[in-house]
Amino acid sequence: MNRIVVYTDPPLLASATAARLVTAITDLQTSQPSVAIALTGGRTGTAVLEHLRVNTAATAIDWSTVDVYWGDERFLPTKHRDRNETQARAALLDHVPIPKSRIHPIAPSDGPYGDDPELAAAAYAKELTGVTLDILLAGVGEEGHTLSIFPDSPAVHETEATVVAVRDCPKPPPTRISLTLPAAREARQVWLMTTGATKAEAVTTALSGASEVDLPAAGARGSDLTLWLLDKAAAGR
């Protein structure tokens, strides 16, 4: 099921999405022993986490039962400022009482698998085995990419692997690790967040039944819900 929610501007989208996350996580915690979410990076994804940190209602979240994963990651050294993990820790994770064992980062380029993104991707796929993501957060790029899956790239054609190494990425840095679209479709809910007039064409095309090969965001669909969270500019078309 697709649902579209339009907010006035990016700051309101970020704050409202944070509030929506509080409600979603606490509701899930009333009916299941743990909650698995996958984070995203970028301006909007980081802003959502910053708003979640200061949202007074977020004190209702029992962080001891929340598992945090990532939908994609820039394959860079530990603590590099451009890693999604680094940004998420600064925005939220270092400020809430979540056990270290509940945080599941993608290996960095100076980690246990060395500078080999294929090995790091295989390791993350193994870590995700048996995990059903309750909520997968993702952005949408101007050309319609989501996660680190770009139009007509090798990753968008992947049908079996759940996590892949992405090389020669058209946006820096060139090497990344990403969940695939089949993996995204295993998530119960996928929340696609994007802002700005430059995203309007991609949003409209994705919602009009575009091929995921041409526009990967069209293929990121939750098994229960696909939630599009847009500002007015991104929804303009």
pLDDT tens, position by position, 54-106: 999 999 999 999 999 999 999 999 999 999 999 999 999 999 999 999 999 99
Q: Who contacts 9 (Cβ-Cβ below 8 Å, separation ≥6)?
A: 195, 231, 232
Phi, psi of 138 (to 5 degrees): -150, 155
pLDDT given for residue 66 in this prediction: 98
Average pLDDT over residues 105-116: 97
Average pLDDT over residues 206-213: 96
Asked if 91 contacts 49 with a C-beta cutoff of 8 angstroms, the reply is: yes
109: left (phi over 0), alpha (psi -120 to 50) or beta: alpha
Residue 1 confidence (pLDDT) above 90: no
Q: Where are the beta strands (DSSP E) in 61-104?
A: 66-70, 72-74
As a whole-number percent, the residues of the chain with pLDDT over 90 amount to 99
pLDDT tens, position by position, 176-206: 999 999 999 999 999 999 999 999 999 999 9
pTM reported for the whole predicted model: 0.97
Q: Who contacts 79 (Cβ-Cβ below 8 Å, separation ≥6)?
A: 86
pLDDT given for residue 166 in this prediction: 98
Rounded-to-integer distance, Cα 106 and Cα 142, Å: 25
pLDDT given for residue 226 in this prediction: 98
2-228: CATH topology is Rossmann fold (3.40.50)
- Mean pLDDT value across the chain: 97
Q: Which residues of 71-107 are buried (b: 16+ CB within 10 A; e: fewer)?
A: bbbbbbeeebeebbbbbbbebbbeeeebeeebbbbbb
Rounded-to-integer distance, Cα 237 and Cα 226, Å: 19
Helices (H), 114-167: 117-128
pLDDT tens, position by position, 140-149: 999 999 999 9
Preceding amide of 151 cis, omega within 30: no
